[in-house]
Structure 1
Amino acid sequence: MADEQTSWWTRTCGGRDVLRVALPLVISTGFFSLMLFVDRLFLFWHSKQAMAAAMPAGMLHWTMVCFPIGVATYANTFVAQYHGAQRPERIGATIGQAAWLGVLVTPLFLLAIPLAPWLFHAAGEEPIVRHYEIVYFRILTLGSGAAVISGAVSTFFTGRGETRIVMLTDVSATLINAVLDYALIFGKFGLP
C-alpha cells in the first residue's frame, strides 16, 4: 500500500506534478478573492451605499465578461496540446486568436457604458446606490477588453505548466490594486 501511494505521488504526471501546476493557480484564485475583499472593504469604509452598489454592479459586469473570458482562456487547452506535441510554432497563433477575441468584444463592452443608467434604473435602487452602481460598472467595463486579453495571454504560461508566473503576476496585481484602491477611493497621494 505504501509503495502504491509513493508511486502515485512521485510518478510522472502524479500527485506531485499536479500539485506543482495546480497550487499556484489556487493561490492566484485566492489573491483574486482577496482583491475583491479589499475592494469591498475600502468601499465599505468609504460609504455603505458604495459597498451596497459594488455587488450588483460587479455581478452585472461578470455576467457580461464571463463568456468571452472563458472562450479566450480555453486557448489554454490548445497551448497545452501543442506544447505536449512539440509544436511550439502553433502556440502563438492560438494565443493571438484568443487575444483578438478581446479586441473584438471591447467595442461591445464599451457600448454597455451608456446603457448603465437604464440598466440600473430598472433595478429600482435608491438614487445614491444607483449612482454608485453606474460609476462602478462603468469603471469595471472600461477594463473588460483588457481582462479578456489578459486571460488569453496567461494561457501561454498556464498551458505550458508555468503557473508560477501567473501566480506572481496575480499577487503583484492584487498588491498594486490595494494601493490604488486606497489612493483612489480615499483621495490619497494627491488623487481626487
Structure 2
Amino acid sequence: MNQPAIPTQPTTLGAHVRAHLVLGLPLIGSHVAQMAIGLTDTVMLGWYDVEALAGLVLANSMFIVLFLFGSGFAFAVMPLVAAAAEADDQTRVRRVTRMGLWISAGFALAVVPIFWFSGPLLEAAGQNPDLAANAQTYLRIQGWSIIPALTVMVLKSYLSALERTRVQLFVTVGAALANVGFDYALIFGNLGLPELGIRGAAIASLGVQLISVTVLAIYALRSFPEHTLWVRIWRPDWEAFGEVARMGWHVGVTTLAEVGLFSATSLLVGLLGTVPLAAHGIALQITSFTFMVPLGLSNAATVRAGRAFGRRDGESLRQGGKAAFLMGVGWALIAMVLFLTLPELLIGGFIDPDEPLRDEILAMGRLLLAMAALFQLADSTQVIAVALLRGMQDTRVPMWIAAASYWLVGASMSYLIGIVAGVGAVGVWLGLVAGLGTAAVFLVIRFRRNAALVTAD
C-alpha cells in the first residue's frame, strides 16, 4: 500500500495537476466508499423494517452533526503536519498529530453521554416517542463509534499530509465490504447469528470503525516509525494542543455552518409538501455523490498548499491553487452537462415505477437539477478555496466568510425567494446557490491575496 513519491515542487501547471490527482484520486474513491457504508445501512434497514429505518435516519441526524464538528480537529492536523513534513520537522509532526488524537478523543468522550440519553433529547425536540426510542437504541451502541471514527479521521489527515492516500482507499473499501457482511448477518440474523435489527446495524458500524482504526494505526506505526506516535502518548503538549484546538474549532464551525444551511433548506422545502421534499431529497443525494470529486480534490489541495506554505513558496501556492480550481471547475462543468441532459435517468432510479406521484416528482426534480448545475459550480469552487486557505493555516476569517455567506445570504434568500415570494423549491435552491456563490467569491479573493503575500525564503 506504499504510494510513490510525488514531486514536492512541480514547475508547470500540468505537473501541479498531476500532483493533485496522485493525491486526490484515492481520496475521491475513499469518500465514495464511505458514502456506500451509509447507503448500505439505509438500504438494509429499509428492507428489514421501515420504523427501524426511520430510527436510523433520526439517529444519524444527531450523530453526523457532532461527528462533523469533531472532525474539525482532525482536519486541522492535515495542514500543520504537511507544513512540518516539508520543513523536515519530524518532532512537530509527532506533536501535532498526538494532540489531534488527544483533542479528538476528549471531544468524543464528552459527547457520548448525549448519545446515551438521546431519546429524551429527541422527544424534547418534538420527535415521535417511538422513533426517538429506536434512535436511542441505535445510538447507545453506535455512539461509542465516534471515538474510533474521530481517531480514524486524525490518522487519515496525518497520512494524507504525508502523501499516503492509497491506504485510505483500500481501508475504506474494505470497511464498506465488511459493513455489508456485518449488516447482512446481524440485522437479519443470518450466518447463525441472532436477528438484532437496528441493534445489529449499530454493532456493525462500531465494528467497522474499530477495524479501520486498528489497520490505520498499524500502518502508520510501520510506515513512519520515526514519528513514534504511540510512545508516551499520554504526555501533554499544551502548545501544540492549543494550536490544533484553535484551528479545529474554526474548521468545525465552518463545516457546521454549511451543513446547517443544507438542513435549513430541507426544512424550508418540507413546508411546501411531499412532492417538493421528495424531489429535493433526491437532488441532494445526486449532488452529494458528485460532490465527492471536488471534496477529494480539496483534501489534496490542503496538503499541497500546506507543503508550499511550509517552504514559503508563493509561486507553487498560486500555480497549485490554479490547478486545483481548474480541476474543480472542470468536474463541475461535466456534472452540469449530466444534470441538464440526463435528469430523468438520474432521478428515475430513486422512484418506484409504480409510484403515483412519480411524474410530479420527476418534473420538480428536473427543475432542481437545473439549479444543481449552478450549485455544483459554486460548491466546487468554495470547497477548494477554503481547503487552500486551510493549507495556509488561515481558518478564522474563512470561518466568518462561510458563516455569513451561508446564513446571511444563503438561508435568508432561500426563505425570501422560496417561501415569501412563493417561487417554491426552485427559489430555495436559488438561495442555496447564492450563499455558496458568495462564499466562493470571497474565499477565492482571500486566497489570491494571501498567496500573493507569501514569498520564498
How many angstroms does 1:73 deviate by? 2.5
Name which of 58, 67, 70 aligns with 1:56.
58
How many angstroms does 1:124 deviate by? 4.1
In 1, the alpha carbon distance for the partners of 2:178 and 2:58 equals 24
In 2, the alpha carbon distance for the partners of 1:124 and 1:19 equals 46
Deviates more, 1:153-162 or 1:21-30: 153-162
In 2, the alpha carbon distance for the partners of 1:130 and 1:155 equals 34
How many angstroms does 1:190 deviate by? 2.8
Name which of 8, 13, 18 aligns with 1:8.
13
With normalisation by structure 1, the TM-score equals: 0.88
In 2, the alpha carbon distance for the partners of 1:128 and 1:38 equals 23
CA deviation string 1:63-107 (max 9, x = no partner)? 122111111221011111111112223211111101111221233
How many angstroms does 1:143 deviate by? 0.7
Name which of 142, 157, 160 aligns with 1:158.
160
Instruction: Give ranges in structure 2 of 5+ residues lacking alignment.
Output: 1-11, 195-457
How many angstroms does 1:173 deviate by? 1.0
User: Counterpart of 2:289?
Assistant: none
User: Counterpart of 2:67?
Assistant: 65
Deviates more, 1:132-141 or 1:62-71: 132-141
The correspondence of residues 88-107 of structure 1 with structure 2, limited to 5 A, is 88-107=90-109
In 1, the alpha carbon distance for the partners of 2:59 and 2:25 equals 30
How many angstroms does 1:186 deviate by? 0.8
How many angstroms does 1:149 deviate by? 1.2
Q: Is the 8 A contact 1:73 1:98 kept in 2?
A: no
In 2, the alpha carbon distance for the partners of 1:86 and 1:118 equals 51
Instruction: Give ranges in structure 1 of 5+ residues lacking alignment.
Output: 1-6
In 2, the alpha carbon distance for the partners of 1:113 and 1:36 equals 18
In 2, the alpha carbon distance for the partners of 1:125 and 1:78 equals 41
User: Counterpart of 1:82?
Assistant: 84
Q: Is the 8 A contact 1:100 1:149 kept in 2?
A: no
In 2, the alpha carbon distance for the partners of 1:141 and 1:56 equals 13
Give the letter aligned to residue 69 of structure 1.
S
Give the letter aligned to residue 30 of structure 2.
S
User: Counterpart of 1:43?
Assistant: 45
CA deviation string 1:104-140 (max 9, x = no partner)? 1233122113321201222444444333211222233
Alignment pair present for 1:132 and 2:134? yes
Alignment pair present for 1:170 and 2:175? no
Name which of 118, 141, 144 aligns with 1:142.
144
Q: Is the 8 A contact 1:109 1:145 kept in 2?
A: no
The alignment's C-alpha RMSD in Å is 1.6
Give the letter aligned to residue 158 of structure 2.
F
Distance 1:137 1:114, change over 3 A: closer
Give the secondary structure class of the aligned counterpart of 2:117.
Answer: helix
With normalisation by structure 2, the TM-score equals: 0.38
Q: Is the 8 A contact 1:82 1:91 kept in 2?
A: yes
Q: Is the 8 A contact 1:61 1:140 kept in 2?
A: no
Using CA pairs under 8 Å that are at least 6 residues apart, name the structure with larger relative contact order, 1 or 2: 1
Q: Is the 8 A contact 1:117 1:134 kept in 2?
A: yes
User: Counterpart of 1:190?
Assistant: 192
User: Counterpart of 1:4?
Assistant: none
Aligned residue pairs total 183
Give the secondary structure class of the aligned counterpart of 1:74.
Answer: helix
In 2, the alpha carbon distance for the partners of 1:164 and 1:35 equals 18
CA deviation string 1:144-170 (max 9, x = no partner)? 111111111222210011111111111
Q: Is the 8 A contact 2:117 2:136 kept in 1?
A: no
Give the letter aligned to residue 8 of structure 1.
L
Give the letter aligned to residue 40 of structure 1.
T
In 2, the alpha carbon distance for the partners of 1:28 and 1:60 equals 23
CA deviation string 1:20-77 (max 9, x = no partner)? 1111111111011111111100000110111122222101111122111111221011
Give the letter aligned to residue 63 of structure 1.
V
Q: Is the 8 A contact 1:79 1:159 kept in 2?
A: yes
In 1, the alpha carbon distance for the partners of 2:116 and 2:80 equals 36
Give the letter aligned to residue 149 of structure 2.
A
In 2, the alpha carbon distance for the partners of 1:137 and 1:112 equals 9
In 2, the alpha carbon distance for the partners of 1:168 and 1:94 equals 25
